[in-house]
Amino acid sequence: MNKIKTDILIIGAGSGGLSVAAGAVQMGADVTLLEGHKMGGDCLNYGCVPSKALIASAKAAYGQRHSAQYGVADAAGAVDYAAAKDHVADVIAQIAPVDSVERFEGLGVRVLREWGRFTSDRTVQAGDTEITARRVVIATGSSPLVPPIPGLDEVPYETNETLFELREQPEHLLIVGGGPIGMEMAQAHVRLGSKVTVIEGDKALGNDDPELAQVVLQSLKDEGVEIAEGATASRISGTAGDITIETGDGRSFHGSHLLMAVGRKTNTERLNLTAAGIETTTRGVKVDASLRTTNRRVYAIGDVAGGMQFTHVAGYHAGVIVRSLLFALPSKAKTAHIPWATYTDPELAQVGLTEAQARDTYGDRLEVVRFDYHHNDRAIAERKSRGFIKVMVVKGRPVGASIVGHQAGELINLWALVLANNMKMSQVAAMVSPYPTIGEVNKRAAGAYFSPRLFDSKLVKTVVGLVQRFIP
């Protein structure tokens, strides 16, 4: 048996694990990285990257069929589904070298293509190698959650881990789950020419502000997506090409293909955590504010830590723990400044508190300002004027921002910066945006906060009147 001693052992080569590895090795630590599956993890291979690539194909097809509004004749927008998947594969291939074994070995990381399993509080077995580490980072991510719906085990279905390898275009795609993954793939497939039905047991996009979510849902319905809410799948039956979903309220839905998109489960099964004295919860590995587990030698980051499941959160977690791992300095993870986006058309983005959450927290101290896209000149020129922004403000400081509309995922960056640095609305108002840009939406939202204070103020009008009367 081979034996290795290392400063930092990282289990999992997804976004968080790779970020820790790259940062730690370049600052002088001896780093060992384990990955039993694909380098780059879920984001590169099954999640963010392939889904956005497929969305880009769908956007191109939709644009061809809806170009008359720009004075360009509509075209058929004929779709070659297999070629669209070739585009997805090519995008993954272009990004993959950044996450490759070769790159990280070139940086000085010891990379073992093995699964890791704890054998004690500081040792991990990986194939025929025993690794003893001063510190261990669990970065094993999450996988699709497939609930035990009667009949599902006898029916062919896709998850995000198999969908992007599907070459045959679904004639009618049934999607169980109306969260971000389900709604993104619903719109992508209807634009690529499939019929699509989304079956959601509660409310579609239920974790977002319902006023904003409704704008997205109506857009999808306008494009032909059938959305059945309050429909809990109670039984699934059929064969390839002929699948039926029955719901608890007596409805029945028929389609050719099935995508399960009901959520995620953390990847802890292989780790033998009890051997290391590491506790778990129903959401994942139990961690404190510094992302330490119940074994103080071991950290958990990203999805497996049981919090917000986003690639950028894993990257943020990596930065938090590197401070502790390398410099023994205290560092805590926070969530108030973490943004997220759903890449439908229009996009949906959020950072900080929603309006409902802010009202619960601040009551009458809360002010909500908004600005509609249909007052933005660039949005009008682009025929992208559906949507609006809401900013939740308390005593001049934003505590949350919600955006639905064109490039919402880009616009939310500014508000993430504002919340991360506890900035004021006056600092946003002082920003000058180039004209005409979609980014002016943010500037105008800040203006909407100050306008009533300036234009509806009797004091301001009195002062202006006196100045005009008495100052030569």
* Alpha carbons 387 and 257: distance in angstroms, whole number: 32
Tell whether 263 is in a known binding site: yes
Tell whether 178 is in a known binding site: yes
* 3-state SS class at 425: helix
Tell whether 140 is in a known binding site: yes
225: region left, alpha or beta (phi > 0 left; psi from -120 to 50 alpha): beta
Tell whether 57 is in a known binding site: no
User: Up-side HSE of residue 185: CA atoms within 13 Å toward CB?
Assistant: 34
Tell whether 142 is in a known binding site: yes
Strand 31-34 to 2-11 pairing: parallel
Q: Kindly report the length of the chain.
A: 472
The H or E element that residue 187 is part of is: helix 180-191
Tell whether 1 is in a known binding site: no
* Alpha carbons 100 and 450: distance in angstroms, whole number: 50
How many Å separate Cα 26 from the centre of its chain? 28
Nearest to 174 by CA among 160, 185, 164, 161: 185
* Alpha carbons 51 and 104: distance in angstroms, whole number: 25
102: how many CB neighbours lie within 10 A of its CB? 10
* 3-state SS class at 223: coil
Strand 110-112 to 397-405 pairing: unpaired
* 3-state SS class at 352: strand
Cβ contact 217:226 at 8 Å:
no
Tell whether 238 is in a known binding site: no
Cβ contact 140:11 at 8 Å:
yes
* Alpha carbons 184 and 161: distance in angstroms, whole number: 15
Q: Give whole-number Cα distances, 192 to 86, 269, 388, in Å.
A: 14, 37, 27
Tell whether 392 is in a known binding site: no
Tell whether 265 is in a known binding site: no
Compute, in degrees rounded to 10, the torsion defined by CA atoms 36, 40, 46, 52. 180
Q: What DSSP state is assigned to residue 201? A: S
Residue type, 446: A
Tell whether 410 is in a known binding site: no
Tell whether 184 is in a known binding site: yes
Tell whether 471 is in a known binding site: no
352: how many CB neighbours lie within 10 A of its CB? 24
* 3-state SS class at 437: coil
The phi and psi torsions of 265 (rounded to 5 degrees) equal -125, 145
Residue type, 268: T
Nearest to 191 by CA among 225, 161, 158, 162: 225
Binding residues: 52, 116, 140-142, 177-184, 200, 263, 303
Binding residues for NAD(+): 177-184, 200, 263
Binding residues for FAD: 52, 116, 140-142, 303
